[in-house]
Chain A
Amino acid sequence: MPVFTPASGAVLKTETRLFTREPGTLFWVLVFPPLLLIAFGLIPGYREPDAALGGLRAIDVYVPSTVMVALITASLQAMPAALTGYRERGILRRMRTTPARPADLLVAQMVLHLAAALLAALLVLVLGNLVYDVALPQNWLAYAVTLALAAVASLAMGAVITSVARTAKAATAIGMSVFFPAMFAAGIYVPVQVLPETLRQIVELTPFGATAQALSQAATGSWPAWDHLAALGLWGVVLMATAARWFRWE
């Protein structure tokens, strides 16, 4: 069985069209993160160099955090709600009676949410640079690799939510309860860099804490510390295995 069939293409095309008809998802994934960055920058103190941040401005460290907001909203909230809805309403089941693979539908949804989050990331980076003069990532390759690992881990976390939630309502509830800790780990409330030592070390072990540190490091031109990347990779593998183990078509 080939990995990509004409039906996979048709499903992806259709799901892309349907994705553009979801104004809510489009707003929260594509528009909200850039708006958040703009709002942060309007706070005067955030545009001043801060000794606690090693001379960086708060707005500089908020760029990677805001990039992660897009990732978190897309993979922990939008995607599980969409997929559990497809399962709950028998859409996957109906598709199971055809030669097409319902897995194509899952893959299409993951690809679309990933693409939207990456587009939002790009918007945040460009806006940060144009509006607040935040330097673009110095090491693009390191930034891209980190972002790719982070995307895999966070989509896998969304897939776990999809697997354990029986209904779309439950998925939204779980998504919400993971959302705030994830935002904290991403440094949206307090930059990860200024957390007390022990707390910071714990946060760095979580997928989004590790991402926050790795992205900040890649932004300054160096390769992120290997332990952050290793943590991300490990999370991705474990979460994907968990999702695959518990997933139900009906």
Chain B
Amino acid sequence: MTMAIVEVKGLRKSYGGRAVVDGVDFTVEEGEIFGILGPNGAGKTTAVECVEGLRVPDAGTIRVAGLDPVRQRRELTRILGVQLQESELQAKLTVSEALELYRTFYPEPADWRPIAERLGLDTMLDRPFGKLSGGWKQRLFIALALVGRPRIVVFDELTTALDPRARRDTWKLIEGVRDSGVTILLVTHFMEEAEHLCDRVAVIDRGKLVALDSPAGLVSRSDSPTTISFRPSRPLPDAELDALPGAVSVNRQGSRLVINGTDDTVNAVITMLARNGVTAAELRVVDATLDDAFLGLTAREAEASAGRAVTAESADADAVRGGH
């Protein structure tokens, strides 16, 4: 039986009269990895910084392990580890001095050496913060978020500046942290990261929660979970293409035919090929990814900000479908 450790209800925050977080609700269960996705400027950082007690909400209630992040911020800091999207340390503070200093802030700190080692920081211990590259700074901030042995950790863009190997190492580290019972709230722009790590993800778009599900759940909710593409040996009859069951769109990309649809569509395409005696070169059947689901869920954002470009594009797609 799990329990909510982070509860956010009706969270609202405005800047200059504009609501940047507009009535967001979610709960994070103890021991889970909870992801927050959303386009730039969607309000993710604002929301998690309210959870951390760094920003004061205009409305709504937040409880983290039963604590009010604003009124009980001091108690909260003892059990909450934080990696901010943007922050710095003293330029001349070395990596080991930073870890040692932050260790002294917490009542029951962890030994920072194993953490530093997992992040490869053991080779950088004497390097001053100001001379670290972006990725190394980020690794140090991940270590600092963990050094206090927190019950809950909030990462705002966990691996944005990291190289692919460091990213995978960090994922392993985070899974290990979770396995030790720690709850993790993480903001990310990497769908692969969300799919790999998160038990559930919330998608925030223009200050509102637009979806909340497991990564697999989000993908399966997409209207076209499967993409079929191939080069037909002869053109296929338009009428049959238009009649494919479950097909959401049929597009031509040069000599390739790209069909978005469902499992039913896949079967129908194979039958259609056999019936017409057409062979399919370079046949690919690809399941939709979280990327596709994300783009589908947040499409309105793109339309609102770049209305004309999107309209023109969809008009093109219609033209292809209607009159190839």
Residues of A within 8 A of B (CB): 1, 6-7, 10-11, 14, 17-18, 21-22, 86, 89-91, 93-94, 96-100
In the complex, the answer to whether B93 meets A18 with C-beta atoms within 8 Å is yes
In the complex, the answer to whether B106 meets A98 with C-beta atoms within 8 Å is yes
Q: Given known contacts A6-B104, A14-B101, A93-B54, is B88 in contact with A98 (CB within 8 Å)?
A: no
Q: Would you give the shortest CB distance from B294 to chain A, in whole angstroms?
A: 28
In the complex, the answer to whether A11 meets B54 with C-beta atoms within 8 Å is no
- Look across to chain A and name the residue whose beta carbon is closest to the beta carbon of B130: A89
In the complex, the answer to whether B93 meets A97 with C-beta atoms within 8 Å is no
Complex-state Cα separation, A50 to B77, whole angstroms: 64
Query: Which residues of chain B come closer than 8 Å to A91, judged between CB atoms?
Result: 87-90
Q: Given known contacts A90-B87, A93-B84, A94-B87, is B92 in contact with A99 (CB within 8 Å)?
A: no
Q: Would you give the shortest CB distance from B171 to chain A, in whole angstroms?
A: 23
Of the residues A18, A89, A97, contact of B52 by C-beta under 8 Å:
A97
Flag B97-111 by CB within 8 Å of A: 1 or 0 each: 100011011110000
Q: Given known contacts A18-B90, A18-B93, A91-B90, is B101 in contact with A97 (CB within 8 Å)?
A: no
In the complex, whether B35 has a CB less than 8 A from a CB of chain A is no
Q: Given known contacts A17-B97, A99-B74, is B84 in contact with A90 (CB within 8 Å)?
A: yes
Query: Which residues of chain B come closer than 8 Å to A93, judged between CB atoms?
Result: 54, 84, 87
Complex-state Cα separation, A14 to B90, whole angstroms: 10
Query: Which residues of chain A come closer than 8 Å to B90, judged between CB atoms?
Result: 18, 86, 91
Give me 23 A-to-B residue pairs in the complex whose CB atoms sit less than 8 angstroms apart, sorted by A's number. A11-B101, A14-B97, A14-B101, A17-B97, A18-B90, A18-B93, A21-B92, A22-B92, A86-B90, A89-B87, A90-B88, A91-B87, A93-B84, A94-B84, A94-B88, A94-B89, A94-B144, A96-B54, A97-B82, A97-B84, A98-B77, A99-B105, A99-B107
Query: Which residues of chain B come closer than 8 Å to A96, judged between CB atoms?
Result: 54
In the complex, the answer to whether B102 meets A98 with C-beta atoms within 8 Å is yes
In the complex, whether B313 has a CB less than 8 A from a CB of chain A is no
Complex-state Cα separation, A79 to B150, whole angstroms: 34
Q: Given known contacts A98-B148, A99-B74, is B101 in contact with A10 (CB within 8 Å)?
A: yes
Residues of B within 8 A of A (CB): 52, 54, 74, 77-78, 80, 82, 84, 86-90, 92-93, 97, 101-102, 104-107, 144, 148
In the complex, the answer to whether A97 meets B77 with C-beta atoms within 8 Å is yes
Closest 4 CB pairs of A and B: A90-B87, A10-B104, A100-B105, A97-B82
Q: Would you give the shortest CB distance from A146 to chain B, in whole angstroms?
A: 34
Q: Would you give the shortest CB distance from A94 to chain B, in whole angstroms?
A: 4
- Look across to chain B and name the residue whose beta carbon is closest to the beta carbon of A93: B87
Query: Which residues of chain B come closer than 8 Å to A94, judged between CB atoms?
Result: 84, 87-89, 144
Q: Would you give the shortest CB distance from B106 to chain A, in whole angstroms?
A: 6
Q: Would you give the shortest CB distance from B55 to chain A, in whole angstroms?
A: 10
Complex-state Cα separation, A93 to B45, whole angstroms: 14
Query: Which residues of chain B come closer than 8 Å to A89, judged between CB atoms?
Result: 87-88
Complex-state Cα separation, A165 to B74, whole angstroms: 28
- Look across to chain A and name the residue whose beta carbon is closest to the beta carbon of B148: A98
In the complex, the answer to whether B105 meets A7 with C-beta atoms within 8 Å is yes
Q: Would you give the shortest CB distance from B157 to chain A, in whole angstroms?
A: 14
Query: Which residues of chain A come closer than 8 Å to B101, judged between CB atoms?
Result: 10-11, 14
In the complex, the answer to whether B93 meets A14 with C-beta atoms within 8 Å is yes
- Look across to chain B and name the residue whose beta carbon is closest to the beta carbon of A95: B105
Query: Which residues of chain A come closer than 8 Å to B92, judged between CB atoms?
Result: 18, 21-22
Q: Would you give the shortest CB distance from B38 to chain A, in whole angstroms?
A: 22
Q: Would you give the shortest CB distance from A123 to chain B, in whole angstroms?
A: 25
Complex-state Cα separation, A174 to B37, whole angstroms: 43
- Look across to chain B and name the residue whose beta carbon is closest to the beta carbon of A250: B54
Query: Which residues of chain B come closer than 8 Å to A22, judged between CB atoms?
Result: 92
Most B C-beta atoms less than 10 A away, residue of A10, A90, A91, A97: A97
- Look across to chain B and name the residue whose beta carbon is closest to the beta carbon of A8: B104
Q: Would you give the shortest CB distance from A248 to chain B, in whole angstroms?
A: 13
